[in-house]
Amino acid sequence: MQFIEYSVRGVIIFSPRRHGDSRGYFVETFREDLFSAAVGPVHFVQDNQSMSAEVGTVRGLHFQLNPRAQGKLVRCLAGAILDVAVDIRRGSPTYGQHVKVELSADNGQQLWVPPGFAHGFCTLEPNTVIAYKVTDYYSPEHDRGLRWSDPALAIDWPVAEDKAILSAKDRVQPLLSELDADFIYAV
C-alpha cells in the first residue's frame, strides 16, 4: 500500500495495490496495521455509502463537532468524484486551505480525512457510489457544514455554482468567516 501526504498536514491518500489477472483483480482495501502506522491508532465504528445519480452533484462540506468529530476514510466504488478536505483547525498554519483529489472506481485510491476537516465531493460521472468508514457515529446535534462555494476557500470545483445539484441544507451552510467550529490545531 502506498501513502501520499500533502502540505495540509493530516490528509493522506492511500493507494492499495491491485493484483490482477485475466479474471479481474484482487485488492486489500483496508489493513488496520498499515493504516495505523500511517495515521496513528484509529477505530472505525460505522460504514456509510451514498449514490449520486447525476454529474455535478455536490455533497458537503460536512463535519461533526467535538466530542463527536469524525475521521473519514473515503473511496469510490462506481464512477468518480472530486473529493475535498478543508482544514478547519484553529491555529493551523493551513487553516482554510484544502486538499482535492479525484477518487474513482478505476484508480482505487482512498482519502483519509481526519477530524478537524470539513469534507465534501462533486460527482464527475453519473451513478457514482462512494463508501466511507467513520470514527464516530452520526450525531445530528453535532452535525455542521461549511459552504462548498465560499470564495475564501478557492476550491476549483468542476461545476458552476448555479449548475450544482445540492441539498437544501448544503445551500445555506456558513462561510469560513462565520464558522463556529471547536477544532484546535495540535502540533
Question: Is residue 132 annotated as part of the catalytic site, yes or no?
Answer: yes
Of the listed 19, 95, 119, 132, which one is catalytic? 132
**Bridge pairing between strands 18-21 and 12-15:** unpaired
Of the listed 6, 19, 25, 62, which one is catalytic? 62
For residues 158 and 179, give the distance between their C-alpha atoms in angstroms, rounded to a whole number: 24
Q: Where are the alpha helices (DSSP H) in 14-99?
A: 32-39
From residue 120, give the alpha-carbon distance in Å to each of 2, 11, 51.
23, 13, 14
Q: Element (H or E) spanning 104, and its range?
A: strand 98-104
Spatial neighbors of 160 by CB under 8 A, at least 6 apart, are none
Question: Is residue 98 annotated as part of the catalytic site, yes or no?
Answer: no
Residues labelled as active-site residues: 62, 132
